[in-house]
């Protein structure tokens, strides 16, 4: 008897070796990873095979069309010879138009300067180690738009020739509409949010009706109204620029969405903050400006960025009222008979998609980052 577990109180005694146990299942390496993540169970195995088939079906064709088999050099002729790949010369020969629209060639440096300042301003706001970010925010929200307007439109006294808004276009116009929409909608949205939460019945009612009206109608309708109805509303003789009308429409539209975002922030501030401010004897304006809004606006930064992403994508709708934003310019260029090649429309759409995707995705990442920073705890 090798093992005697009754008679010997000292413990279990073996004589000789026990047989070897089988080696433990690998827990590291490629095979183990695949077993854990792809083939844990029959259902997941089937799913993995199907998913792999999907990837193999879509990805090679896409990469080949976009990169490996695409035409990178030459002109329309090269694309005509090889219609089975993207026609990037179409984009490279027209990128200036896509960026500046029909803006005077000699005046394009003005847009360049604005874009550089915009890039610096955004970097300043986003990189947290830099000092004076509140100052930068005020500068970008209030000073930059005025400066940008004079730079873009021109002013004879400042020695800048006037460029009519009908010549603005391309990505510049996309930025103009989206940025002025967001800059105008922020203060309006804060006012509307405060109005909706106000205890004064008439003000609260009017704010609610305003917000729900704009949130209930499509942006296309807003743009249509801006083009067709707005001139009817004004006294005879007063005319507004087409672009300005569109911008006003977009700003009113997005201010309703902004108001709801800000209202979410106001509701998230604990009641003690309001009561504390009142106990200190602060009047309403000071309470909001010094105590409530700084906290509320900070926690709704992700919401503001998301609203901006939506607005940025929606600027493409101005195509419908015959303003030429990036998509409009590309759409118009596709129709050029010199470039009537099968791959050109796909290339044009792919280019616009890539531009918008890069902008929106990076903003979404930023918003996610802020959200993660604010949202601590309850994580596993």
Partner 1 sequence: MAKNSNNNALAAPAPSFWRDPEKRAIVYQALVLAFMAWLLYSIVNNTATNMESRGLASGFGFLTSSAGFGIISTPFVPYTEDSSYFTVFLVGLVNTIIIAFVGCVLALLLGFIVGIARLSSNWLVQKIATFYIELFRNVPLLLQILFWYSAVLKPLPGPRELHEAGEAVFFSINNRGLIFAEPVGQEGFQYVWYAFFAAIVVSWLIRKWANARQMQTGQQFPTFLVGLGLIIGAPLLTYLFMGRPLEFVPAEMSRFALRGGVTVIPEFVALLLALVIYTAAFIAEIVRAGIQSVSHGQTEAASALGVKPSHRMRLVVVPQAMRVIVPPLTSQFLNLTKNSSLATAIAYPDLFSVFAGTTLNQTGQAVEIMAMTLAVYLTLSLLTSAFMNWYNSRIKLVER
Q: Which two tokens stand for residue 41?
A: 């169970």
Q: Which two tokens stand for residue 307?
A: 């609203």
**Nearer of residues 37 and 267 to partner 1, judged by Cβ:** 37
User: How many chain residues touch partner 1 (CB under 8 A)?
Assistant: 56
Among 132, 218, 276, 294, binds partner 1 (CB under 8 A): 218
Q: Which two tokens stand for residue 233?
A: 């509303």
**Nearer of residues 272 and 377 to partner 1, judged by Cβ:** 377
User: Distance (Å, rounded) from C-alpha 39 to C-alpha 54?
Assistant: 17
Among 52, 56, 67, 374, binds partner 1 (CB under 8 A): 52
Tell me: does residue 57 bind partner 1 (CB under 8 A): no
Q: Which two tokens stand for residue 280?
A: 């200190």
**Of the listed pieces 2-10, 106-114, 158-166, 199-207, which binds partner 1 according to CB under 8 A?**
199-207
Task: Give me the residues paired with residue 87 across strands.
Answer: 71
**Nearer of residues 24 and 201 to partner 1, judged by Cβ:** 201
DSSP alpha helices (H): ranges in the chain? 29-37, 42-63, 76-81, 88-92, 95-100, 108-126, 133-138, 144-153, 170-197, 201-216, 219-224, 230-233, 242-268, 271-279, 284-286, 293-299, 301-314, 326-334, 343-374
**Nearer of residues 38 and 122 to partner 1, judged by Cβ:** 38
Tell me: does residue 141 bind partner 1 (CB under 8 A): no
Tell me: does residue 327 bind partner 1 (CB under 8 A): yes
Tell me: does residue 378 bind partner 1 (CB under 8 A): yes
Quick check: helix, strand or coil at residue 156?
helix
Contacts (Cβ under 8 Å, ≥6 apart) of 152: 110, 111, 114, 163, 168, 172, 176
Chain residues in the site for partner 1 (CB under 8 A): 37-38, 40, 44, 47-48, 51-52, 54-55, 199-203, 206, 213, 215-221, 224-225, 228-229, 231-236, 309, 313-314, 316-317, 319-320, 327, 331, 342, 345-346, 349, 352-353, 356-357, 360-361, 364, 378, 380
């Amino acid at each position: 008897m090798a093992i005697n577990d009754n008679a010997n109180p000292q413990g279990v005694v073996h004589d000789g070796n026990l047989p070897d146990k089988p080696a433990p299942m690998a827990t590291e390496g490629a095979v183990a990873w695949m077993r854990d993540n792809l083939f844990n169970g029959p259902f997941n195995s089937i799913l993995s095979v199907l998913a792999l088939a999907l990837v193999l079906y879509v990805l090679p064709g896409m990469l080949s069309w976009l990169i490996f088999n695409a035409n990178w050099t030459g002109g329309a002729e090269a694309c005509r010879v090889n219609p089975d790949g993207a026609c990037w010369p179409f984009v490279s020969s027209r990128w200036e138009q896509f960026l500046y629209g029909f803006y005077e060639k000699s005046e394009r440096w003005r847009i360049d300067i604005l874009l550089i300042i915009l890039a610096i301003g955004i970097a300043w706001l986003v990189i947290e180690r830099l000092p004076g970010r509140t100052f930068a925010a005020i500068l970008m929200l209030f000073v930059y738009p005025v400066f940008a307007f004079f730079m873009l439109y021109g002013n004879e006294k400042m020695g800048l020739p006037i460029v009519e808004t009908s010549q603005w276009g391309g990505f510049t116009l996309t930025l103009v509409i989206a940025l002025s929409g967001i800059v105008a909608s922020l203060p309006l949205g804060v006012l509307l949010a405060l109005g909706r939460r106000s205890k004064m019945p008439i003000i609260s009612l009017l704010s609610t009706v305003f917000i729900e009206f704009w949130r209930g109608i499509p942006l296309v309708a807003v743009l249509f109204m801006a083009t067709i109805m707005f001139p009817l509303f004004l006294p005879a003789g007063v005319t507004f620029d087409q672009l300005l009308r569109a911008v006003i429409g977009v700003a009113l539209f997005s201010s309703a969405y902004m108001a709801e975002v800000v209202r979410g922030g106001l509701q998230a501030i604990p009641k003690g903050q309001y009561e504390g401010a009142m106990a200190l004897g602060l009047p309403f304006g000071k309470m909001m400006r010094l105590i409530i809004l700084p906290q509320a606006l900070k926690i709704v930064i992700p919401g503001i960025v998301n609203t901006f992403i939506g607005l940025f994508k929606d600027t493409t709708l101005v195509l419908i009222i015959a303003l030429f934003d990036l998509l409009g310019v590309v759409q118009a260029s596709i129709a050029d008979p010199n470039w009537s090649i099968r791959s050109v429309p796909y290339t044009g759409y792919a280019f616009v998609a890539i531009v918008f995707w890069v902008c929106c995705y990076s903003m979404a990442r930023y918003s996610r980052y802020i959200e993660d920073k604010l949202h601590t705890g309850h994580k596993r």
